[in-house]
Structure 1
Amino acid sequence: MTLSRSFSVAALAALLLASPVLAQEAAGAFPPGNPPGVDDWRQQYEQTLRDEYGWLSVAGLTFLPDGTYVIGSAPGSDIPLPTGHAPAKVGTVVVAGGVATLRFEPGVEALLNGQPAPAEVVLKKAERGAPGQPATPPDKVRVGKVEFHLHESGPRLAMRVRDPESPIRIGFQGPKWFPVSEGARVVATLRPFEEARTVDVRNILGDPEPYQAPGQLEFPWDGKKVRVLAFTSTKGRLQVIFRDATMGRETYGTRYVYAEPTGDGRYVIDFNRAYNPPCAYNPYTTCPTPPKENILKVAIRAGEKIYDGPTTHAAR
């Protein structure tokens, strides 16, 4: 969701010579005033949430142990689709050994990844990429405006449904933010492990998700040294999944932020861009939660606040 840049050491050195702003950032000092680009980033973040098939459109999640499932909008369907937005019976899904085969009802018009769907198809799951590389997306089936695809929550297979006309999306009131603060940008030092560790991060349903951790990031906050477990992400960034002392009153129980590399082994963390996971808005999502190392005693009053819109009760 965030915008980022990664540089080679040589390219960074050239940019530092040409840009006093970058030079100050690498040295751990920032110019006065609001950090650049935060307002634009926040607008783009909100637009991503509001996208037609973004996180707010998720309208269902059904787990699929081995068996046969009817998918459609008719009452009693095993995989329910939004009433009035999809045929009463789209077809059946047969799951065996983690493989899901979809068989359409005669006459149902559907698209598979934007192309006319065959009468029967073995649905592909998302494929996790190598550390630092994006995942390959799953097959997406669309009937009318309703879209569905396979989703994995830890070892469990599920069907995730998206509906652009979901009340969660239509009724979204927008994110709430702490004021932008220059002091919320910090320079962090990576304390690497001897070897990168695979960490089982639990999602909101308690299912484990494997993350690669190259080490811990150390940074100053309110006169204290804070350390957090950092996870490998794309574009040379590191991801931090954290909870702080504002949780429950001012912020949601989990927030995410990226650490951008400076090219010299250090990272800039801009907590003005700390944001909520989709679970803050949508009860049908399965978001990673902070490992114990990242449950902080300090209060980070920066970035996104808790959502107080009409769907909060469901998301919590």
Structure 2
Amino acid sequence: MTAQLTEQDVDRFASDWRTWHREHEERLADPHGFLAVTGLHWLSEEPRRFPDAPGTWTTGPDGVAVVLAEGEELVVDGAAIHGEHRFGPIPERGGVLAVWGDAVIEVAKRGGNDIVRPRHPGHPLRTGFRGTPAYEPDARWAVPGRYIAFPEPRPTTVGAAVEGLQHVYDAPGRIEFELDGRRLSLTAFNGHAPGTLSVLFTDETSGVTTYAANRALQIDAPGPGGEVVVDFNRAANLPCAYTDFATCPLPPAENRLPVVVEAGEKIPHERG
């Protein structure tokens, strides 16, 4: 593929990649992004206070609740709350952000468990972020593929970065492609935007030069014949590559590629 590109094409390809990588890092290092998370607190019916969030927290059949002490305040949906506040049941992979000074308190459900995950802009992991090392972009790692939809979305259970936790996703189909002369496929999940796809995978670089647990690829919506481009240059680390306070999903077993993919993001400095 590279031989067919002009020098201008190669420069544009590299420039587009650098823009993508910069924007990806900016989202990660947002004042309330994952690098700002200071704790992962699992809720139960037993009231608990946490050092990095106000209030006493519980959960139960009626959902998450917090009781704020005198002088404590949270802002939820623009409204200041005091005393007791009930967030109610939170859907899986859903969440509410409550503002506390310059911090944000994330109240969410992951793997069927209600959690509180405070995000403080001054957390040293965020303030000391130096960027993420990555392979230089190379167009040979952007390979054509074909998306094949399953007759019905296939419920797929995967592990998580947190031991004992599981996630269940509906996989709408798989992506077939060829790499280094080998025919391969990846189970795909739905992407963030309608029609797009998301892929979790590992390969023979995982645990060597790239993060061991997973990397993620976002795939544009397939063409009318299922045509897609699998651009491994944009293989990105998930938050669990940086912090132990993330509950990221692991790839399905069939997405462990038996090839070396020297493209995309490498092991973060924070895990080096």
Moved more, 270-279 or 96-105: 96-105
Task: Provide the secondary structure at the position in 2 that maps to 1:263.
Answer: coil
Match for residue 188 of structure 2? Answer: 230
Query: How far apart are 1:224 and its partner, in Å?
Result: 0.9
Does residue 179 (structure 1) correspond to residue 140 (structure 2)? The answer is no
Match for residue 19 of structure 2? Answer: 40
User: In structure 2, do the counterparts of structure 1 residues 105 and 46 end up closer, same or farther at CA, with 3 Å as the change threshold?
Assistant: same
AA matched with 2:78: G
> How many residue pairs end up in the alignment?
262
AA matched with 1:232: N
AA matched with 2:21: R
* TM value normalised by structure 2: 0.89
Aligned-pair identity in percent equals: 31
Does residue 140 (structure 1) correspond to residue 117 (structure 2)? The answer is no
Match for residue 97 of structure 1? Answer: 61
Among 101, 105, 109, the residue aligned to 2:73? 109
Consecutive unaligned residues in structure 2, runs of 5 or more:
none
| Aligned counterparts, 1:124-203, within 5 A | 124=88, 126-127=90-91, 138-203=95-160
Describe the superposition over 1:246-283 as per-residue Cα deviations: whole angstroms up to 9, x where unpaired: 01111002100012134221111211111001011111
* 2:221–2:228 CA contact under 8 A, matched in 1: yes
Larger Cα Rg: Structure 1 or Structure 2?
1
- Aligned Cα RMSD in Å? 2.1
Query: How far apart are 1:119 and its partner, in Å?
Result: 2.5
* 2:46–2:58 CA contact under 8 A, matched in 1: yes
* 2:64–2:114 CA contact under 8 A, matched in 1: no
Whole-Å separation in 2 of the counterparts to 1:273 and 1:256: 8
Match for residue 261 of structure 1? Answer: 221
* 1:66–1:98 CA contact under 8 A, matched in 2: no
Query: How far apart are 1:172 and its partner, in Å?
Result: 1.2
* 1:67–1:96 CA contact under 8 A, matched in 2: no
Match for residue 201 of structure 2? Answer: 242
Query: How far apart are 1:220 and its partner, in Å?
Result: 1.1
Match for residue 165 of structure 2? Answer: 207
Whole-Å separation in 2 of the counterparts to 1:280 and 1:238: 21
Whole-Å separation in 2 of the counterparts to 1:261 and 1:143: 38
Match for residue 251 of structure 2? Answer: 290
| Aligned counterparts, 1:55-74, within 5 A | 55-70=34-49
Whole-Å separation in 1 of the counterparts to 2:38 and 2:147: 39
Task: Provide the secondary structure at the position in 1 that maps to 2:27.
Answer: helix
User: In structure 2, do the counterparts of structure 1 residues 275 and 98 end up closer, same or farther at CA, with 3 Å as the change threshold?
Assistant: farther
AA matched with 2:28: L
Q: Which runs of structure 1 show a deviation greater than 4 angstroms over 4 or more consecutive aligned residues?
A: 29-32
Whole-Å separation in 2 of the counterparts to 1:91 and 1:268: 48
AA matched with 1:185: A
